[in-house]
Amino acid sequence: MRDASPAKIYALHVGVIALLFALNFVLPDYHQGLFARIMALAVFAMGYNLLFGYVGLLSLGHAMFFSAGLYGAGLTVYHLGWGVAEAFIAGIACGALLALVIGLLALRTSGVAFMIVTMMFAQVFYLLILYFAAWTGGDQGLVVQQAARTLNLDGAPLDLTNPTVRYMSALALFAVVLIATLAVVRSRFGRVLVAVRENEERTKMLGYDTVANKLAAVVLSGTICAASGAAYALLFGYIGSSFASVQYSILPLLWVLLGGAATTLGPLIGTLFMYYVTDITSGFTSAYLLIVGVALILLVLFAPKGILGSIRQRWLGWLP
């Protein structure tokens, strides 16, 4: 990575946030709703990217962190009648705690074994959701009622089902996580994570506790994914086991690969690209997943570092 002034880098990210803010006022209704969903899920991808892109740990179990947030927030509203803010915090706390436990266990492995162990834990989590169907709604899932999805800010109710409020809420979360991610990857801690990815043995030899750093990365990654899940439950009003299935562990991997692993803005670009390819092509053919597959193969062949990764490699070496 070629050096660039922090001001330039932060200006780019603030510019992206400003662009997304402005889009709220010009996007047609449908795309406004789609962008809200994409931003919420891009947070999921950013959490995944932190571990996969910067630490080099390929997890196939991140659906459990996303759904820990989803259920942590959704079930506290559904069963306990909690408010939106408390439920959101509960969702994040569930994800953080789960990530800590899973991290402690799964980080005893590495490489392919880490991938398999995380996938197995996610499968256990998925089956637990089905097993406790009386509380979770099982495979059918549960609806978080519209009336319960209102954020009370000092007596001023904020209806999260309102398209603009929803868009701005998703953007707020996205912006916080984007800037936080940027700060993390530019920090001393972030550089240690990249060092672990590049050569863990050498990093250890230099005196760093790589296990502790990796554990911190797992917890941070899981917490961000849980924030995405919690926001999804509260913004879109549905919690269901399909979000804990292996498909939702693979999706963030694809989004990150498409957008560019180890780039801060890649997860947004990947999520956006995949959503729109699916949305547009499904209007023409039922074989739209084939088109998505072909697009992925072409990207792997001609832009193996993903969209933003390739741009960084060829033109903008300073991109974080």
Partner 1 sequence: MADKNGFFDLSKTTLSRRTALKGMAAGAGLALAPGFVRYSQAQSSAPIKIGFQLHRTGIGAAYGRWYDRTSAAAVKAINDAGGINGRKVELVIEDDGTDPARGAEVVNKFATQHKTDIVFGTLFSHVVIGSAPAAGENKIPYFVVSEGHHVASTKLNRYVFQPGITDVKSQIQSMAPWIAANAGKKVTQIFPDFAFGYDHRDYLPPALKAQGADVIAQIAIPPTESSFTKYFPQIPAETEVIYHVMVGPAVLTFVKELGEFYGSQRPQLFGFMDSLEAVDINSPGLEFLDGSHFWEGSPRYAQPDDSAAQKAYRAAVGIDDNGAAAGDPKDVSTASHMFGCWETLYVVKKAMEDAGYKGSEDRAKLVEATEALKEFAEGPEHPQGPKTFNGKIHQCFGIQNISKVEGGKLKVVHKTKIEDGLYEPEGDYTKQAL
C-beta separation of 120 from 109 below 8 A: no
Residue 26 backbone zone (phi > 0: left; psi -120 to 50: alpha; other: beta): alpha
Residue 236: CB minimum distance to partner 1, A: 6
Q: CA separation (Å) from 165 to 149, 150, 172, 207?
A: 11, 10, 10, 48
* Contact residue for partner 1 among 141, 222, 267, 320 (CB under 8 A): 141
* Contact residue for partner 1 among 161, 179, 254, 313 (CB under 8 A): 161
The 1-30 site mask, x for binding partner 1 (CB under 8 A), equals ---------------------------xxx
164 binds partner 1 (CB under 8 A): no
Taking the C-alpha atoms of residue 179 and residue 44, their distance in angstroms, rounded to an integer, is 15
Taking the C-alpha atoms of residue 312 and residue 176, their distance in angstroms, rounded to an integer, is 23
Residues in the chain: 320
CA 205 to chain centre: 32
Residue 263: CB minimum distance to partner 1, A: 25
294 binds partner 1 (CB under 8 A): no
127 binds partner 1 (CB under 8 A): yes
Residue 230: CB minimum distance to partner 1, A: 16
Taking the C-alpha atoms of residue 305 and residue 263, their distance in angstroms, rounded to an integer, is 10
242 binds partner 1 (CB under 8 A): yes
Would you say 103 or 141 has its CB closer to partner 1?
A: 141
Cβ-based neighbours of 297, under 8 Å, separated by 6 or more: none
Binding range to partner 1, per CB under 8 A, among 110-118, 182-190, 259-267, 278-286: 278-286
* Contact residue for partner 1 among 13, 37, 186, 204 (CB under 8 A): 37
Residue 39: CB minimum distance to partner 1, A: 14
Helices assigned H by DSSP within 107-209: 111-131, 133-136, 163-186, 188-198, 200-205
154 binds partner 1 (CB under 8 A): no
- Please name which of 101, 125, 95 lies closest in space to residue 227, comparing C-alpha atoms: 95
Would you say 145 or 199 has its CB closer to partner 1?
A: 145
Concatenating the DSSP letter of every residue in 247-302 gives HHHHHHHHHHHHH-TT-SSHHHHHHHHHHHHHHHHTTT-TTHHHHHHHHHHHHHHH
Residue 154: CB minimum distance to partner 1, A: 25
146 binds partner 1 (CB under 8 A): yes
Q: What is the contact surface with partner 1 in residues (CB under 8 A)?
A: 28-30, 33-34, 37, 127, 130-131, 133, 137-146, 161, 236-238, 240-243, 279, 282-283, 286, 288-289
